[in-house]
């Protein structure tokens, strides 16, 4: 069986927000929402550090990290269990999906999700350009939506848009059930944690923190085990920012 998951290497994340931008672009996300957010672990504002600036030759204490956040695609997904009408469900391949034609907009899933990964279309979705972007149909007003692991791309054997967009190779997408996949090898090799582990949601998204993860070997332009599957979407349009053209 396939069980898709993601590893996000926080030692590699440079906080550039490219994954968030490409997510909104690829998935036609309204401008008042983001499925994929890059949080700053540091100061009170985005991209600011906490601590003191080094003065008078002393050591400073400045520190800042970034935490990319999106749907964690939990094994024990509370949102799936609360959905009264089966609109949110766990697919056989591990992706937590939403049937936008069934969702009645009760927002119980939003209160169930401890990660605040879900957004609701309070307003008519608004995009620039107005006719939409990317390769996913616009969702209606009045339904809940969230990260789908780019299921439309995964079904075409492509990596999610965020994974492709990451210039630091901090995101790795793959099959957690396959012991040989890069995600599995990463989880086995490095210390990884799942967000809010104590809530027992058992996310399919793992974060690598702590000691610097050694660089993976390069094969030509690619890092070991992370050949990016990026071209070949249904419309034949590149979603990698045009790099492959």
Partner 1 sequence: MSTRRDSGVVVPQFGTRGKAWLALLGIVIVAGLAAWGYQLSRGLAVTGMDNVFSWGLYIMLFVFFIGLSAGGLIISSAPKFFHSKRYDSLAALGVLVSLGCIVVAGLLILPDLGKPSRVTGFLTSPDFRSPMVWDFGIVLLYGLFNVGYLWLLTRRDLAKMGSQLAFGVEDTPAGRERDRKLAFWAAAVAMPLAIALHSVTGWIFATQIGRGDWFNPLVAPMFIMKALVSGLALLLVTAIVVDRVTRFRMPRELVPELGKVLGIFVAVHIVYLVAAERLPHAWAANFEFWSITSAFLVGDTVHFWLWTVVGGAVPIALLAVPSWRRKVGVVFAASVAAIVGILFEGVYLIFTGYRDLNIDASPGVTTGTDYTGIGSDVWATVGSYTPTLIELLVTLGIVAVGAMIVTLGLRFLPVQPGGRKPSAVEAGETEKSDAETPPDAAVADGGYVVDGTDGDRR
d(CA 6, CA 17) in angstroms, rounded, equals 17
Edge-to-edge strand order for the sheet containing 192-193? 171-175, 4-9, 205-208, 192-193
**Cβ closest to partner 1, residue 5 vs residue 78:** 78
**How far lies 38's CA from each of 29, 45, 53, 245, in Å?**
16, 12, 24, 28
Closest CA to 158 of 213, 232, 100: 232
Which one of residues 104, 193, 222, 244 is an interface residue with partner 1 (CB under 8 A)? Answer: 104
CB nearer to partner 1: pick between 74 and 154: 74
Rule CB under 8 A: say whether 14 interacts with partner 1: no
| Token pair of 155 as six digits | 């079904």
Site stretch for partner 1 (CB under 8 A), options 165-173, 192-200, 203-211, 216-224: 192-200
Q: Considering only the stretches 155-163, 182-190, 199-207, 213-221, report the one whose residues sit in contact with partner 1 under the rule CB under 8 A.
A: 199-207
Interacting positions 137-176 with partner 1 (CB under 8 A): 140-144
Between CA 196 and CA 116 the distance in angstroms is 12
- Residue 125 or 174 having the CB closest to partner 1: 125
Q: Least separation, in Å, of the C-beta of 61 and partner 1?
A: 18
Q: How far is the CB of 234 from partner 1 (least distance, A)?
A: 27
111 is a site residue for partner 1 (CB under 8 A): yes
First to last CA, the chain: 34
Q: Is the dihedral of CA 130, 136, 138, 144 positive or negative?
A: negative
Binding to partner 1 (CB under 8 A) within 45-84 occurs at: 45-46, 48, 67, 69, 78, 81-84
Which residues within the stretch 115-134 sit at the binding site for partner 1 (CB under 8 A)? 115-116, 118-124, 126
Q: Which of 106, 168, 223, 238 is the binder for partner 1 (CB under 8 A)?
A: 106
196: helix, coil or strand? Answer: coil
User: Do 169 and 163 form a contact (C-beta atoms < 8 A)?
Assistant: no
CB of 228 to partner 1, least distance (A): 27
Q: Which residue has the tokens 């998204």?
A: 205
> CB of 208 within 8 A of CB of 8?
yes
User: Of 202-231, which residues contact partner 1 (CB under 8 A)?
Assistant: none
Partner residues linked to 96 by β-bridges: 90
Which residue from 105, 132, 232, 241 is in contact with partner 1, where contact means CB under 8 A?
105
Stretch that binds partner 1, among 101-109, 186-194, 209-217, 223-231 (CB under 8 A): 101-109
Percent helix, strand and coil across the chain, each to the nearest 5: 15, 20, 65
Q: Which two tokens stand for residue 212?
A: 């610097």
By CB under 8 A, name the binding residues for partner 1.
30-34, 37, 39-46, 48, 67, 69, 78, 81-87, 102-108, 110-116, 118-124, 126, 140-144, 195-196, 199-201
């Amino acid at each position: 069986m396939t069980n898709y998951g993601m590893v996000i290497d926080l030692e590699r994340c440079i906080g550039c927000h490219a994954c968030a931008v490409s997510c909104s672009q690829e998935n036609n996300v309204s401008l008042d929402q983001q499925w994929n957010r890059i949080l700053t672990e540091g100061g009170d504002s985005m991209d600011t550090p906490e601590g003191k600036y080094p003065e008078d030759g002393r050591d400073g204490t400045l520190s800042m990290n970034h935490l990319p956040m999106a749907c964690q695609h939990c094994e024990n997904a509370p949102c799936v269990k609360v959905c009264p009408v089966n609109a949110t469900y766990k697919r056989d391949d591990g992706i937590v999906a939403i049937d936008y034609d069934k969702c009645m907009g009760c927002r119980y899933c939003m209160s169930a999700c401890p990660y605040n990964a879900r957004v609701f279309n309070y307003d008519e979705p608004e995009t620039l350009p107005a006719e939409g972007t990317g390769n996913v149909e616009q969702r209606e007003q009045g339904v809940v939506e969230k990260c789908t692991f780019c299921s439309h791309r995964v079904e075409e054997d492509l990596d999610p848009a965020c994974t492709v967009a990451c210039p630091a190779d901090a995101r790795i997408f793959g099959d957690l059930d396959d012991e040989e996949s890069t995600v599995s090898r990463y989880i086995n090799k490095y210390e990884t944690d799942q967000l809010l582990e104590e809530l027992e949601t058992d996310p399919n998204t793992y974060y690598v923190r702590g000691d610097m993860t050694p660089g993976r070997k390069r094969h030509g332009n690619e890092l070991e085990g992370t050949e990016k599957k990026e071209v070949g979407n249904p419309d034949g349009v590149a979603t990698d920012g045009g790099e492959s053209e």
